[in-house]
């Protein structure tokens, strides 16, 4: 069966986890869906049916005690799990549906039902830890999907690339001891959540399968291009994954209100193009993007719609916002140190 379409997963339930005054609110996804309709991209993709994950699927990465606690907490009306992470009566069902949908989109790309995909999920997942929520995230969508992928025929190695401005500490913690999963994170540092130093490289059999690229404030298109050309892409080529999963956060843009990196929409598009090209070269095009952060709605709309265009092999992208006027810091020393640590 020849896959002819890009798959997406979206469910109205993802809008029911909401607190309008919080940066991570339902307007983020409402705005993306509206933009996809306006640009006539929804008619070009293949929507996959969403589903609620089973508890034993969530506990692939999370403790049963935490899952049960989260379910009960939300059923009682919710509240704040931690200072950053809210919930309401719908939040457990929303987060569990995000997990189930992540798994099924991943399986669809592996089986060839779709050629690639974008998981339009809320809440995000890359900060969630095994036994607690963190940083707007309840469950580790991408980490669970990666673990399930390794149970599928033909998948022996999975790479996760996280370009959200915040370090994907949850993803790293949930997959850190698995030598069959490569985790690469570009992120502002020092910054929330405080993890992701250059020396965090994995331990035991998995040593070297964690590649953290901590970037100082102001790094933008030029710096990211150097990092991807000299570190990210060579690392993917050496690992040679059977599947690439991407934590796609659009908060590294220079107009994002919560961070201080200086990527433009054209910079995000360049990164997206490089990752899709790597997937085509290494794993028959099997690549799935998972929505993470991004808190400027215009940036988010254009970032996601541009990425879906690239997945659909549509060449024209949009960047009405332009590049940052900030002078980028020098990162040659960082790149040289990363090359030394990871023998690149």
293 in a structural domain: yes
pLDDT over threshold 50, residue 210 = yes
At 341, the pLDDT band (50, 70, 90 cuts) reads: very high
| Domain assignment of residue 268, given as a range | 6-341
The per-residue pLDDT of the chain, averaged, comes to 97
> Can you tell me the distance from the alpha carbon of 254 to that of 260, in angstroms, rounded to the nearest whole number?
7
> What CATH number has the domain bearing residue 247?
3.40.800.20
- Residue 250 falls inside a structural domain: yes
Q: Is residue 1 part of a domain?
A: no
Instruction: Encode pLDDT of 119-151 as tens digits.
Output: 999 999 999 999 999 999 999 999 999 999 999
- Which pLDDT belongs to residue 2? 46
Residue 19: Cβ within 10 Å count = 15
Q: Could you list the active site residues?
A: 127
Question: Looking at residue 165, what is its pLDDT?
Answer: 98
Is the per-residue pLDDT at 4 higher than 70? no
Percentage of the chain lying above the pLDDT 70 cut = 99
Residue 291 falls within a domain, yes or no? yes
Domain count, the chain: 1
Question: pTM of the entire structure?
Answer: 0.97
pLDDT band for position 1 (cuts 50, 70, 90): very low
């Amino acid at each position: 069966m020849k896959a002819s379409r890009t798959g997406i997963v979206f469910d109205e339930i993802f809008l029911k986890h909401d607190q309008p005054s919080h940066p991570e609110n339902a307007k983020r996804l409402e705005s993306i869906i509206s933009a996809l309709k306006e640009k006539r991209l929804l008619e070009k993709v293949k929507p996959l049916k969403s589903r609620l994950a089973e508890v034993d699927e969530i506990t692939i990465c999370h403790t049963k005690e935490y899952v049960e606690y989260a379910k009960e907490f939300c059923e009682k009306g919710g509240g704040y799990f931690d200072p950053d992470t809210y919930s309401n009566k719908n939040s457990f069902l929303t987060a569990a549906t995000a997990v189930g949908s992540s798994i099924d989109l991943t399986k669809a790309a592996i089986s060839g039902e779709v050629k690639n995909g974008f998981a339009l999920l809320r809440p995000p997942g890359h900060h969630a830890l095994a036994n607690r929520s963190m940083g707007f995230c309840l469950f580790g969508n991408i980490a669970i999907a990666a673990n399930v992928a390794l149970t599928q025929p033909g998948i022996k190695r999975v790479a996760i690339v996280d370009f959200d401005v915040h370090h994907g500490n949850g993803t790293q913690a949930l997959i850190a001891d698995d030598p069959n999963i490569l985790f690469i994170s570009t992120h502002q540092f020092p910054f929330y959540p405080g993890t992701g130093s250059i020396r965090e490289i994995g331990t035991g059999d998995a040593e070297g399968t964690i590649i953290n690229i901590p970037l100082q404030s102001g790094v933008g298109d030029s710096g990211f291009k150097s990092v991807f050309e000299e570190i990210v892409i060579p690392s993917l080529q050496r690992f040679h994954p059977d599947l690439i999963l991407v934590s796609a956060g659009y908060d590294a843009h220079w107009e994002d209100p919560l961070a201080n990196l200086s990527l433009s929409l054209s910079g995000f598009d360049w990164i997206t193009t490089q990752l899709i090209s790597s997937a085509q070269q290494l794993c028959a095009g099997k690549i799935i993007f998972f929505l993470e952060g991004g808190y400027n709605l215009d940036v988010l709309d254009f970032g996601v719609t541009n990425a879906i265009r690239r997945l659909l092999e549509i060449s024209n992208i949009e960047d009405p916002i332009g590049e940052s006027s900030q002078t980028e810091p020098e990162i040659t020393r960082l790149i040289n140190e990363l090359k030394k640590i990871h023998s690149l």
